[in-house]
Structures are given as C-alpha cells and as structure tokens.
Amino acid sequence: MSRRTDLLQQLFQTDKWGEEKEQEQKFLAATAELILTDFINIACNGLTQHGAGSLIINLQNDSTTYVSGHDIEADIRIAEQEEDDEIKDFMLDLLQRVNDNDWSKNVLITLISDAATRTFAVEAGGSQESFRALSGEFT
C-alpha cells in the first residue's frame, strides 16, 4: 500500500465527538496539506526534469505520473492513430492547459476518477493557500 493510500485512509477513520472531533479535524486538514505538499513537490520535480506538463493522479488504478508536454503530444498522436476521440480530446485539453499555465507561479495536477477528470493549477509555494484554493473547488 502506498504512503498516499495510507494517509487517505486515515482521513476517513474518525469516530470522535465534541472537542476531540475538532482536534481530529485539525489533524485531517494537516494530513491533507501534507499530501498536497507531496504532490506539489512531485510536480515541481517533474517540471524541473521534464519540462512543462502535469502530474496525473489516477484514482482508478492508484498511480501517479508526471507527463510532459512532449509526452502529451505523443499520446495525442497515438489516440489519433487509434481513433480514440475521448483520449484525444482529454489530451488536447490538457495540452492547452499546459500551454496556458503560468509556470512561474503554478504547477498542474490532474485528477482522474470514475466520476470525472479535472486539471488544477496549484500554486507551487504556500501549500496552505494552495490547499484552501483546491479544497474550494470540491465544495
């Protein structure tokens, strides 16, 4: 089991009430911030090593991969050859986000789940602010 999976499971394990529940919620927020900080660091390392791209977190198969713009372009060509319009459209949208991103401030993180696929521009520094902005997207 990955560190991320272990931390995520901890987020859902609470049976506390009152003041104890409040302390538990603070712990859960800190855990979520730690996870986001790890993702930001992975994305920053990917940017440094491979150039502009996105950290793709696939919740369907519990994988995390950084893909560069060049990788995305290659995937678009493969999707075109295989006539896979869904993948092609996803990759074209992702490539547009990569091209439009302000790399001096943000990294890109893409979440893939059964329900949807979303790409977020996350501030590369100040994880608490990034966490608040990203969590706001889900509420």
Which pTM was predicted? 0.73
One pLDDT digit (tens) per residue for the chain, 139 residues: 455 555 555 555 556 666 777 777 777 777 777 888 889 999 999 999 999 999 999 988 989 999 999 999 999 999 999 999 999 999 999 999 999 999 989 999 999 988 888 999 988 865 455 555 555 554 4
Contact 124, 133 (CB under 8 A): no
Contact 66, 57 (CB under 8 A): no
User: Which burial class, exposed, middle or buried, applies to 110 when counting CB atoms under 10 A from its CB (0-12, 13-18, 19+)?
Assistant: buried
Where in the chain are the domains? 3-138
